[in-house]
Chain A
Amino acid sequence: MWTIIHKMGSPPWFFRISGVLVRWLLPITVMLLVCGALWGLLVAPPDFRQGNSYRIIYIHVPSAVVALAGYYVMAFAGAVSLIWRIKMADVTMRAAAPVGAVLTAIALVTGAIWGKPTWGTWWVWDARITSMLILLFLYLGVVALFEAYENKTAAARACAVLSLVGTVNIPIIYKSVDWWYSLHQPASIKFTGESAIDASMLYPLLLMIVAFYCLFAVAVLLNMRAELTWQHRESGWLRQIVSGA
């Protein structure tokens, strides 16, 4: 058990393993994305009230789901790096933050694009939308804090502290925004879709969620490899792997 953890903390070992992992995961991700997109966009039936515009959920929902999970990945990596001072956890956290921020932004933008034909407006201060916006700010804060520090080891620890404080806060933020919404806003805009989603629409959605998880993993791994390459650009082991492979 401990040897595996020690190995995971070693950049050369991780670089080799992640290379193999990406080689397998990347084609799988592309395949899942293409299948899910084709299924969702072409095969799944149109919604009886929204017509075809609902199909954006095949991008919107997966990116929102993975964006939320990504914050916890980042915070967990941050906790590991704070407690055990494992360098690779730093790299993971650093790599996950921009990916999560981009996914959050995608969720917000696709939501706005969907909202225009459906609700007649680009933006409403709905509880979930507002929470996602705050999540975007939390991500951007971590990215900006990392960039601002000169000493990158200290930067990683600072970001770990921040993301942990954010993690404790996220459920409170969600709950409070929920209460705020139900208190201040009359329910003028109702979610137009029916409560239960039909299986013919659900399966491609689930497939897309799995595809986005894989996409997140691939993006984070590639990001980590880029970061490691930069950090160890002078080391012999990297030269060996790059020239040997």
Chain B
Amino acid sequence: MSYSKTSIWQPMSSEVASLSIWGAFARQFMRHCKSLVGSPADAINPLLFFFMVVTLFPLGLGPDPQRLAGMAPGILWVVALLSSLMVSAKLFASDYEDGSLEQLAMAPYPLAVLVMGEVAAHWIATGVLLALVSPVFATMLGLSSAALPTLVASLMLGTLSLTLIGAVGSALTVSIRRGGLLLSLLIIPLNVPVLIFGTTAVSEAVIDGNTVSWLALLGGLALGSLALLPLAIGAALRVSLDN
């Protein structure tokens, strides 16, 4: 990795303190985008995971195309949820271990805004990417092509909520050794509405039904999460730093 991770924030430096809140957000965002470009495995591995777990379903359920097509919305959404669970486990781990999280907590900006830069970059690298690639897997499962735009849109909106909820879980468990399993216990119940709205939107699209209201619900969840959860993530990170 070519960038330096630790000397990003120097709270007393006038250059940093002169950034606006948006500037601080953008700086965090860019920093994490660069880190993802530096190690593309972080973005590619979740896709591979998604691909492999999708492959398991025809093997487990049998290759009957009609049956698979009927189950495709559920399969795709459950696997998307699992893959977001996998990646959020490591979301704040390296920042916590190398101490940059403590520097962020001391920076003269709200911690919630700074970590949102990180979460946004993470969402683009995992959620948006997954949504864009998902038509390939969906077609392999035999999902009708009319439902593909809805699938992409629902995953795009839904993974934003999933990423934010996952970030809360990750922030709560980052200081705990072997926090991975605990993380799934914490956030799977919270992810239930996203799963329901997402699957239903795609299922409705298959039968040419009412998708807009379900997508609107997903969007509402995403906006609500965007408004409230950064505060929870910031508070949870401060708790973890105290542990």
Contact = CB atoms under 8 A, between A and B. Distances in A.
Given A158-B240, A161-B232, A162-B172, A141 B185 contact: yes
Interface in B187-211: 188-190, 192-193, 196-197, 200
Interface in A64-102: 82
B190 A166 contact: yes
Nearest to A166: B190
Given A145-B172, A158-B172, 8 more contacts: A82-B235, A138-B190, A140-B185, A141-B182, A144-B182, A148-B179, A158-B236, A161-B239
16 contacts: A82-B235, A134-B192, A144-B182, A145-B186, A148-B179, A149-B243, A151-B243, A154-B239, A158-B243, A161-B236, A164-B232, A165-B232, A169-B189, A169-B190, A172-B221, A177-B192
A179 B176 CA distance: 36
Contacts of A137: 185, 188-189
A150 interface: yes
Interface string A146-184: 001111011101100110111011001101110110010
B182 A148 contact: yes
A141 B188 CA distance: 10
Main secondary structure on chain A at its contact with chain B? helix
A176 B197 CA distance: 7
B91 to A, nearest CB: 16
B229 interface: yes
Contacts of B232: 161, 164-165
A148 B173 contact: yes
B188 A150 contact: no
B168 A173 contact: no
A202 to B, nearest CB: 32
Contacts of A138: 189-190
Of the candidates B197, B236, B239, the one having the most CB atoms from chain A within 10 angstroms of its own CB is: B239
Contacts of B189: 134, 137-138, 141, 166, 169, 173
Given A145-B186, A165-B232, A176 B192 contact: yes
Of the candidates B192, B235, B242, the one having the most CB atoms from chain A within 10 angstroms of its own CB is: B192
A10 B87 CA distance: 43
B196 to A, nearest CB: 4
